[in-house]
């Protein structure tokens, strides 16, 4: 059975969208792993499956390339919103994810903003293995933690080029302090409105960017008193803007670009 897909990216964070509105959802962990393989499949950082929804324009489910589900993806959410806003001719749309109802709006050019919801700051919500202040964790480097629907651990470093992300990321992702594993960020503060960010992504490795990781890194930087309420985040693949007033939702804004569309065969 051919399965149509669209591939897009947001500042290098690539994802595929499979629109199954009005149809059954065929995606399993095994299929997600197959599609996510960059040699024998399509390859992606995340897979977004678009489904029917009673209280929003669509429901969106997300998968990592290793076949694990994830609760949120800022890049793919904006990609789905971009396509559905083009489809309806509107400048705003509401999508349902495991984070709840997310409002997306058209910004300038091909940019899309999404309110990613309020970050979870309590240790149990991240989650961490034991009670502690999430602004300073008892690990070497004293990172901060929060959740944007998925867990984030942020290290603030003087020189980001000195960090071998691929070497240190896997052990930190699976550290016993994080029972659900974690995304790991390394942040160099350029000034109060600009950071340089590199990422080890839970279930994915080293991406060129990640919307939810950008949000988590900025939230943790604001909580530590290092950043202002509006921050430009420079990732390996490009730049996004994150805004958070210290309470309420985190707003992520950046471009999304189509790459290709086609069909994959042998599914189902």
Q: What domains can you pick out in the chain, each with its CATH number?
A: 3-116+255-264 (3.10.310.10), 144-249 (3.10.310.10)
Report residue 108's pLDDT band, with 50, 70 and 90 as the boundaries: confident
Closest CA to 78 of 240, 264, 261, 263: 240
Interior angle at CA 220, CA 12 and CA 149, nearest 5: 65
Residues 30 and 67: their CA atoms lie apart, in Å, by 6
pLDDT averaged over every residue in the chain: 95
Beta bridge partners of 186: 155, 198
With H, G, I as helix, E, B as strand and everything else as coil, classify residue 205.
Answer: strand
Report residue 203's pLDDT band, with 50, 70 and 90 as the boundaries: confident
- pLDDT tens-place string over residues 120-172: 999 999 999 999 999 999 999 999 999 999 999 999 999 999 999 999 999 99
Q: What is the DSSP string of 121-158?
A: -STTTTT-SS---TTS-SSTT--EEEESSSEEEEEE-S
Residues 49 and 19: their CA atoms lie apart, in Å, by 6
Predicted local distance difference test score (pLDDT) of residue 268: 56
Residues 235 and 209: their CA atoms lie apart, in Å, by 5
Closest CA to 208 of 11, 74, 35: 11
- pLDDT tens-place string over residues 183-199: 999 999 999 999 999 99
Q: Tokens standing for 172?
A: 């930190």
């Amino acid at each position: 059975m051919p399965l149509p897909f669209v591939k897009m990216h947001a500042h290098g964070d690539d994802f595929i969208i499979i629109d199954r509105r009005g149809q059954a959802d065929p995606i399993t962990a095994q299929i997600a792993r197959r599609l996510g393989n960059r040699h024998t499949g399509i390859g992606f950082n995340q897979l977004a499956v678009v489904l029917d929804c009673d209280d929003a324009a669509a429901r969106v489910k997300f998968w990592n390339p290793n076949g694990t589900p994830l609760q949120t993806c800022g890049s793919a959410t904006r990609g789905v919103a971009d396509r559905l806003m083009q489809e309806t001719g509107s400048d705003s749309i509401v999508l349902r994810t495991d984070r709840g109802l997310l409002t997306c709006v058209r910004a300038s050019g091909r940019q899309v903003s999404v309110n990613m919801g309020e970050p979870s700051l309590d240790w149990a919500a991240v989650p961490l293995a034991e009670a502690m202040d999430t602004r300073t964790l008892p690990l070497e480097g004293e990172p901060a933690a929060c959740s944007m629907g998925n867990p984030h651990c942020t290290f603030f470093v003087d020189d980001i080029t000195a960090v071998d992300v691929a070497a240190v990321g896997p052990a930190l992702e699976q550290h016993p302090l994080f029972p659900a594993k974690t995304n790991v960020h390394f942040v160099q503060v350029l000034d109060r409105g600009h950071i340089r960010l590199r990422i080890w992504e839970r279930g994915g490795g080293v991406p060129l960017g990640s919307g939810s990781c950008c949000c988590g890194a900025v939230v943790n930087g604001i909580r530590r008193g290092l950043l202002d309420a509006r921050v430009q985040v420079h990732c390996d693949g490009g730049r996004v803007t994150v805004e958070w007033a210290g309470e309420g939702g985190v707003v992520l804004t950046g471009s999304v670009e189509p790459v290709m569309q086609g069909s994959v065969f042998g599914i189902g």
